[in-house]
Amino acid sequence: MTQPPHGNLPPRGPVQPPPVPGPPPAAPWPPGQHHHYPAPPPRRSPGAIIGICLGAVAVLVLGLVAIVALNKNDTPVASTGYQNTPSPSAPSELPPAGASSPQSATATAPPSMSSSAPSNEGPQKILKLADHPILLDKNAGLQNRVCDLPPWQSTQSGAEAFFTAASNCLNAAWGPFLQAYHLPFTPPSLHFPTGASFETECGTIQVGIATAAYYCENNLYVPFRGLQTDQYGNNPGVYLALFAHEYGHHVQEVAGLMDAAWQKIYEAGQNSPAGLEMSRRKELQAQCFSGMFLGAHVDQGGTVTRDMYNKAWNDQETRGDNTSHSRDHGTNAHYAAWWRAGATNNRITDCNTFAAPASEVS
């Protein structure tokens, strides 16, 4: 079994979150829709302007006559149904998606004619794969940070305490990284199912050796029954690595990589050769993200020790399609190789599985 590189600590000083870029790229338009700008209002000729002025004088005179007539018969004027209308040259604007419509001050108040700046819709996912912005900066990695975890206890309550603390460390590591790219980071919701199965937006999940942890739609599930504590015992490095793998799927979700990958899978067919290859690329990237996390936190003064790192390193060879007899996660050798690539150098460009040749994601 390949041994980890003892004494080769992840890079320190140069490994920082990427610099905050400029304005966020515009969100891609849905297929079949095109971005277009409204044409400016037509310019009026001098003759037309003179005509408008003469018309305004006539309207003013008629209005004075009507006011005199109304004052003569003392009839109270209630809601007449008239209101000022916007000029034809003023384009109407809808509130941004998700915003409530502004309430009118009065029934007859004219709408605001002042031009408003475009609304900032906030961070948006970027639906790209190999050319995704987070995968292109060769100097980008996770900050070396201290992560303090409680001692591992092979009990339901002990596991909950351990993974809750691990989730906080993962949030602190990946949150600033993703926000630096103006991506909409929110921590995943953490769940600890206790039954033989549990419900998710992805369906009913049966707890077994393949479900030590499970991610679905911004929710991370850790059923204690699936952790195989009878086999792994007091081995927190293994549990931390598999948890960081599932959290890696949340990184993909927030960034837009997950949606972009599933679009390709659905287009090709989930069980087609191309669909299975895309699934492997997605899973192997989560492996690399898991390695990045442990590599950035080992030997930093917290509780992620070199022993935990070494055991996680060696454990990766026991996982993958050779063990599960499937074709959607990658061979055991590739499962280990991508985790180690992230752990060794802590560079996110090393996790660009979507740009790798097919021979490295088989």
Q: Residue 223 and residue 221: Cα distance in Å, rounded? A: 6
Q: Which of 333, 162, 253 is nearest to 262 (CA)?
A: 253
Predicted local distance difference test score (pLDDT) of residue 122: 87
18 neighbors 135 (Cβ within 8 angstroms): no
71 pLDDT more than 70: no
Q: What is the mean pLDDT of residues 6-12?
A: 34
Of the two residues 70 and 292, the one the predictor is more confident about is 292
pLDDT digits (tens, 9 = 90+) for 189-213: 999 999 999 999 999 999 987 789 9
In this predicted structure, which of 40-44, 92-96, 156-160, 320-324 has the lowest mean pLDDT? Answer: 92-96
Mean pLDDT over the full length of the chain: 76
pLDDT digits (tens, 9 = 90+) for 296-329: 999 999 999 999 999 999 999 999 999 989 999 9
Q: Residue 203 and residue 358: Cα distance in Å, rounded? A: 30
| E strands, the chain, in order | 189-191, 197-200, 203-206, 214-216, 219-221
Predicted local distance difference test score (pLDDT) of residue 209: 75
Q: Torsion angle, CA of 16/302/290/311, rounded to 10 degrees? A: 140
Of the two residues 165 and 68, the one the predictor is more confident about is 165
228 pLDDT more than 60: yes
- N-term to C-term CA, the chain: 20
SS (H, E, C) 294-350: HHHHCCCCCCCCHHHHHHHHHHHHHCCHHHHCCCCCCCHHHHHHHHHHHHHHCCHHH
The size of the chain, in residues, is 362
| Number of other CB atoms surrounding residue 10 within 10 Å | 24
Dmax over CA atoms of the chain, in Å, equals 104
| E strands, 131-274, in order | 189-191, 197-200, 203-206, 214-216, 219-221
* Residue carrying structure tokens 């996390």: 293
Identify the three-state secondary structure at position 55: helix
Q: Residue 264 and residue 82: Cα distance in Å, rounded? A: 55
Token digits for 334? 């590739």
pLDDT digits (tens, 9 = 90+) for 252-290: 999 999 999 999 999 999 999 999 999 999 999 999 999
356 neighbors 135 (Cβ within 8 angstroms): no
> Does pTM top 0.75 for this prediction?
no
